[in-house]
Amino acid sequence: MDQARMELAYAPTAEDFREAMAAQARHTSLGRLSRVVVWVPAAVAALGCAATAMTGGVGASDAVLVAVLAALALLAPRYQVSAASRRARRRGGEYRAVVDVTGVSVTDARGTRALGWERVPRSLETERLFVVLNRSGNCFLVLPKRGTSSPDALRALIARHTTPVVQAAAAAHAG
């Protein structure tokens, strides 16, 4: 099962992006920070509105501000998934990825993008995906397991060249 090159063929789906972004939000510092940045203003506005309500001075603009910030916090992740899905659809059709000793290259109807392992040194695995990430965790490639007949060989190849994010986080907390 030890292979130096794996090829995948797949059409990316909205569910792929939803799963990858949820994993990124749970397991990377940047993902966790983005949740805080989105929710803290809504929480602060709600607390301010509640404090103002206790003195009897809540206006319609306060309630609107809280509602808008809460809506933004709820809808931001959905918008990100939708935007990623639209970009993938615009790029068109079937994707072909090659994972080898040099890195990952993805070819679609518009061309090929190649990233060496030095640019994507981290990885995550979910139930249906492998996700390779840059150092900060904000840029990733989604490699659906359905794109290969041998997810175990792909897992081994990715593991040889990347550090699993969950493992890296555990090591940082231990030491």
Element (H, E) at 30: helix 29-54
For the cut 60, the answer to whether the pLDDT of residue 174 exceeds it is no
How does residue 29 score in pLDDT terms, banded at 50, 70 and 90? low
Q: Residue 2's pLDDT is what?
A: 61
Angle between helices 60-91 and 29-54 (to 10 degrees): 160
**In what side-by-side order are the strands of the sheet with 95-100?**
5-10, 95-100, 103-108, 111-116
How does residue 31 score in pLDDT terms, banded at 50, 70 and 90? low
Contact call for residues 123 and 107 (beta carbons, < 8 A): no
Greater model confidence, 173 or 8: 8
Rounded Cα distance between 145 and 157, Å, is 13
How does residue 173 score in pLDDT terms, banded at 50, 70 and 90? very low
Q: Residue 170's pLDDT is what?
A: 42
Q: What is the pLDDT of residues 34-89, one digit of tens each?
A: 666 666 777 777 777 777 777 776 667 777 777 777 777 676 667 676 777 777 77
- Cα 79 to the center of its chain, rounded Å: 13
Q: What is the pLDDT of residues 100-136, one digit of tens each?
A: 999 999 998 889 999 999 999 999 999 999 999 988 7
Which range, 6-15, 52-61, 135-144, 165-174, has the best average confidence (pLDDT)? 6-15
Q: Residue 35's pLDDT is what?
A: 67
Q: Residue 123's pLDDT is what?
A: 94
Domain positions in the chain? 5-174
Q: Residue 162's pLDDT is what?
A: 95
